[in-house]
């Protein structure tokens, strides 16, 4: 109790100051003022802001961009990576009160001081656009300077200077202008008529118009992590583009420009807030084979998704899905279905119609049963149902004759499901953190099944 009162008194002394208190983890620990103590005091049980999640995320991303700009300005482009890990503590008024940090990598004391002083000025003067109603703590990782990821080779150009000065633009296959803080698409891109890949990711682009007809061999465009919004992506009708990455922007729907890419195979739209997605969103995309809707705030999948009849990969990780449309079963070419980290409580009864499905990821949901049609997935090789609420599995599991790996970790299984030994191609079984894995008596009841599995050289992991 004395320790708690002492800590609270310590906090009150710091809170009396108008400025944020910034300390290295080691410095704070020497004072008996660790980040763990702060975390326990600032980590509340209720939501700490008023308004929508989208409003807060937009506000948080804006602040993160400001901090990234500061780091880039101080450290520039680096060949040796360095980063700052920090815990940021916000009071009930929305004012930042403490920042505890640690530097990873080598930087000079002068650069560290300049960084901390700049962050102090930014955070002392920052005001949230949403109302803060409770104190809270958040953890962050920020690269110090720009560590660019660019391909290597004679056919690659990775700077505007080189793009303007080269005397052999016809030899360039990849133009990598990523992470250059560009605010518009440079006209120099049209020098490279043989270019196959254009990378404009991690810039500051708010409006993009690319005349693909002037780039007849262009197959890939990377525009991820910019600031594009609905209507701000312009691409003319073309039959050349195969891959389009527009993740991490501010789209609410699939852009109309995507429909102009008649032979597009892969579309990556993760980390957009797709609140306007509807049945019509998937029209004119029949050739698409791979779509990524990772962390897009989806509460449902429109049944119109079935219009993408050639789709082979559907990734909807980290959304808020509680059900799936039954029309999903009509996507007969689907090979990989990634449904993990959602709120699913049931699966469509006709799931077994996906005859070509090879991998099914469903971990981190709220599932307690599988449909009986699961046994009709004759091509299935990997089944991951970990972190759910299964206490039994249907006998139809025994018909999955091509399954090589089943992960049932973190469920409520009190015995190894009886159908498991009947899987002829099985190589790995994961049972971690189930009652059967933790209770010796329960494990003894399944001993004969485990012996059969191990006798067939199947790896069983508890």
Report pLDDT digits (tens) over 13-46: 444 446 899 999 989 888 877 777 888 888 877 7
Give the CA-trace dihedral at 302, 259, 224, 148, to 10 degrees. Answer: 150
- pLDDT (average), residues 272-288: 93
150 compared with 253, residue with greater pLDDT: 253
How far is Cα 372 from Cα 370, in angstroms, rounded to an integer? Answer: 6
How far is Cα 131 from Cα 363, in angstroms, rounded to an integer? Answer: 35
Q: For the chain, what percentages of helix, strand and coil (3-state, to nearest 5) are there?
A: 30, 20, 50
How far is Cα 437 from Cα 445, in angstroms, rounded to an integer? Answer: 11
- pLDDT (average), residues 276-302: 94
**Domain locations along the chain:** 2-143, 156-461
Please report the pLDDT score of residue 1 as a whole number: 41
Does 12 have pLDDT greater than 70? no
Which residue, among 155, 101, 106, has the nearest Cα to 123 in the 3D structure? 101
Does 292 have pLDDT greater than 90? yes
DSSP letter at 60 equals H
Please report the pLDDT score of residue 2 as a whole number: 41
Please report the pLDDT score of residue 41 as a whole number: 84
Q: Where are the alpha helices (DSSP H) in 196-354?
A: 256-259
- pLDDT (average), residues 45-54: 81
How far is Cα 114 from Cα 272, in angstroms, rounded to an integer? Answer: 34
410 φ/ψ sector (left φ>0, alpha ψ -120 to 50, else beta): left
- pLDDT (average), residues 6-16: 44
DSSP letter at 372 equals G
Please report the pLDDT score of residue 3 as a whole number: 42
Please report the pLDDT score of residue 18 as a whole number: 62
149 compared with 115, residue with greater pLDDT: 115
Please report the pLDDT score of residue 130 as a whole number: 87
Give the pLDDT band (50/70/90) at residue 68. confident
Structure tokens, 439? 């209770």
191-214: per-residue pLDDT in tens?
A: 999 999 999 998 999 999 999 999
32 compared with 259, residue with greater pLDDT: 259
Three-state DSSP class for 221? Answer: strand
CATH of domain 156-461: 3.80.10.10
């Amino acid at each position: 109790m004395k320790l708690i009162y002492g800590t609270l008194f310590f906090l009150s002394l710091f809170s009396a100051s108008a400025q944020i208190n910034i300390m290295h983890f080691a410095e704070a620990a020497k004072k008996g003022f660790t980040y763990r103590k702060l975390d326990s005091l600032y980590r509340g049980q209720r939501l700490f802001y008023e308004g929508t999640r989208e409003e807060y995320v937009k506000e948080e991303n804006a602040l993160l961009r400001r901090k990234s700009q500061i780091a880039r300005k101080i450290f520039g482009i680096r060949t040796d990576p360095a980063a700052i890990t920090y815990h940021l503590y916000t009071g009930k008024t929305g004012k930042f009160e403490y920042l505890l940090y640690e530097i990873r990598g080598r930087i000079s004391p002068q650069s560290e001081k300049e960084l901390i002083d700049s962050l102090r000025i930014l955070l002392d003067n920052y005001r949230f656009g949403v109302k803060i109603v409770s104190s809270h703590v958040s953890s962050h990782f920020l690269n110090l300077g720009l560590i660019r990821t660019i391909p290597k080779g004679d056919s690659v150009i990775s700077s505007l200077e080189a793009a303007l000065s080269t005397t052999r633009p016809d030899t360039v296959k990849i133009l990598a202008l990523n992470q250059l803080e560009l605010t518009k698409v440079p006209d120099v891109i049209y020098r490279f008529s043989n270019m196959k890949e254009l990378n404009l990711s991690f810039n500051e682009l708010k409006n993009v118009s690319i005349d693909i007809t002037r780039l007849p061999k262009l197959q890939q465009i990377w525009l991820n992590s910019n600031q594009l919004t609905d209507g701000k992506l312009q691409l003319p009708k073309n039959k050349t583009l195969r891959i389009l990455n527009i993740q991490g922007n501010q789209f609410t729907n699939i852009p109309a420009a995507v429909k102009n890419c008649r032979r597009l195979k892969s579309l990556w739209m993760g980390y957009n807030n797709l609140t306007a997605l509807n049945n019509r969103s998937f029209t004119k995309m029949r050739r698409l084979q791979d779509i990524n809707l990772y962390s897009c705030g989806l509460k449902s999948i429109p049944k119109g998704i079935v219009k993408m009849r050639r789709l082979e990969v559907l990734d909807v990780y980290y959304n808020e899905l509680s059900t799936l449309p039954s029309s999903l079963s009509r996507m007969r070419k689907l090979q990989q279905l990634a449904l993990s980290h959602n709120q699913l409580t049931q699966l469509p009864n006709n799931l077994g119609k996906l005859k070509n499905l090879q991998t099914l990821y469903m971990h981190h949901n709220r599932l307690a049963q599988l449909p009986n049609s699961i046994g009709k997935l004759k091509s299935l090789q990997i089944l991951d149902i970990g972190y759910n609420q299964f206490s039994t599995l249907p006998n139809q599991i025994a018909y999955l004759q091509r399954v090589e790996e089943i992960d049932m970790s973190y469920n409520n299984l009190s015995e190894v499901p009886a159908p498991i030994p009947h899987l002829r191609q099985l190589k790995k079984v994961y049972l971690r953190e189930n009652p059967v894995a933790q209770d010796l008596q329960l494990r003894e009841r399944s001993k004969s099944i485990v012996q059969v599995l191990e006798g067939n050289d199947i790896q069983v992991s508890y």
